[in-house]
Amino acid sequence: MIDLGVMVPPEKILDTAEAEKVDIVGLSGLITPSLDQMVDVAREMDRRRLELPLMIGGATTSRQHTAVKIAPEYENETVHVLDASRVVDVVAALIDPKRRTALDTENRELQERLRVQHAEKVRKPLLPLTQARANRVKAPSPDRPAPPFIGTRTVEPALAELVPFIDWQFFFHAWDLKGKFPAILEHPAARELYDDAQALLRVILQGASLRPAGIYGFWPAHAEGDDVVIDGTRFSFLRQQAEHGDGRPNRCLADNVATADDYMGAFAVGIHGADELSTRYEAAHDDYSSIAVKALADRLAEAFAEFLHQRVRREWYAPDEHLSDEDLLKENFRGIRPAFGYPACPDHSEKGKLFELLGAESVGLSLTESYAMMPAAAVSGVYFHHPQSKYFSVGRIGRDQLEDYADRKGIPVSEAERWLGPNLP
Ligand code: B12
């Protein structure tokens, strides 16, 4: 297997595939912008008349997306592989001429069914944007607590402070072990992994080889339609347009902020040093620790976001908040911290404004041109204090909202289409 790494341009992937005479090309996508690039790779494979199967995987991909958007661009096998444990079987089939034909037939039938299903879903009418807006969440927050300060502050906790906030359940996901923590530890493989991770964590804590650094802030804010305006920065949000038919509102994150005299917060946190440490283990031929370091750094980044959210709630509006670990994990507290890219605010490109507002570079965080954050173990987002604020999925939006959104952001509709791909038919 030739691992080309992350954020590799299509030309390099395909030039390597041709030069090395590989049997199969595999693409992995973590966040939405990579989905479009997968379509580009498929198109380019078609243009080059390659005959290699194309395999698609990664957290942000799906069978539907592969069937509807990627497979139609490439004449040969385009297979979505749900998880890595299936990959050996799929590859074995793809390099065996007889099994390859059978797999291809089955895969094409499946993808055709998925396209039909998709077409049916898309036919379901949406509410016009004006009507969706009229069905907004109308209850304003009973109070608009003043934040502890206006502007930004850096935050550099000791690693040990973040450890209690680690949600171990997701750590096991990285190894495809699914189950609730701590019950999952009854599984011998999970127990072994957990013990190894604890040992590695001790080494990391002693050597201080990973370094947390973040920045957060609060500003006076007000909502203007589906935008929230802060200090000259306009964050544009999207509104659900599905016709729920059961009295539920059509949610938009901007509804959490009042039209005057309110506040909003923001944050960006990262764990530095994971790539360096992981490369050192790799050089010592210890792939297991190399992967474990990255998985731990990811958990610590998420733990950092939880740690900071708790501090923010206590500083801002819940000084007496003391939650059990369970309530903390279940998020039984006031306020949310949605991150751009999550289903409630799917446009990754809003991170550009967020980083500028926060001055996130000052703590060593940066954005790639497709708005992935560096270092990889990083989380950023906004804070809402509204007691009824909650996470939701925007889902499919109509052409009217797409055009309105592009207009609000001052970008061409074609560009908005690119960022909102998964929310469009
Ligand atoms: C861990 C995680 C993180 C970690 C690590 C991220 C990283 N750099 O790797 C942290 C906490 C840092 C993080 C941050 C963010 N995340 Co995140 N994260 C996840 C999470 C929970 C799991 C992803 C994961 O690593 N799983 C473990 C790996 C091994 O699984 P996997 O990627 O699915 O891959 C498996 C299969 O797909 C398959 N596979 C993968 N690739 C390939 C390739 C081939 C060829 C084949 C055959 C198979 C295959 O094999 C793997 C094993 O079975 C997902 C949600 C979820 N449950 O999937 C969100 C998720 C990926 N994150 C998301 C988002 C939005 C973000 C942020 C942008 C949020 C933010 N604004 O801060 C940032 C971005 C970070 C950055 N650097 O830019 C969204 C992406 C949505 C989207 N459509 O874009 C998700 C889907 C959550 C959600 N539902 O909204 N995240």
Tell me how far the alpha carbon of residue 26 lies from the centroid of ligand 1, in angstroms: 17
Q: Is the CB of 59 under 6 A from ligand 1?
A: yes
Tell me how far the alpha carbon of residue 298 lies from the centroid of ligand 1, in angstroms: 10
89 phi and psi angles, rounded to 5 deg: -65, -45
- Which residue has the CA at smallest separation from atom 46 of ligand 1? 57
Q: Is the CB of 352 under 6 A from ligand 1?
A: no
Q: From CA 93, how far away is CA 319, in angstroms rounded?
A: 59
- Which residue has the CA at smallest separation from atom 58 of ligand 1? 59
Residues in CB range of 120: below 8 A, 6 or more apart: none
Percent helix, strand and coil across the chain, each rounded to 5?
50, 15, 35
Residues in CB range of 94: below 8 A, 6 or more apart: 23, 24, 53, 55, 77, 79, 100, 103
CA terminus-to-terminus distance, the chain: 35
Question: Which domains are seen in the chain, by residue range?
Answer: 10-123 (3.40.50.280), 129-423 (3.10.196.10)
For tokens 């030309």, name the residue. Answer: 11
110-113 own/partner pairs: CB under 8 Å, 24+ apart: 110/63, 110/67, 111/63, 111/66, 111/67, 111/71, 111/78, 112/67
Q: Which of 8, 30, 298, 370 to mutate to test the pocket of ligand 1 (most atoms within 8 A of CB)?
A: 30
Q: Is the CB of 174 under 6 A from ligand 1?
A: yes
pLDDT by residue, tens only, the chain of 425 residues: 999 988 899 999 999 999 999 999 999 998 888 888 999 999 999 999 999 999 999 989 999 999 999 999 999 999 999 888 889 999 999 999 999 999 999 999 999 999 999 999 888 889 999 999 999 998 888 999 999 999 999 999 999 999 999 989 888 887 778 888 889 999 998 999 999 999 999 999 998 899 999 999 999 999 999 999 998 899 999 999 999 889 899 999 999 999 999 999 999 999 999 999 999 999 999 999 999 999 999 999 999 999 999 999 999 999 988 888 888 878 889 999 999 999 999 999 999 999 999 999 999 999 998 899 999 999 999 999 999 999 999 999 999 999 999 999 999 999 999 999 889 98
Tell me how far the alpha carbon of residue 59 lies from the centroid of ligand 1, in angstroms: 5
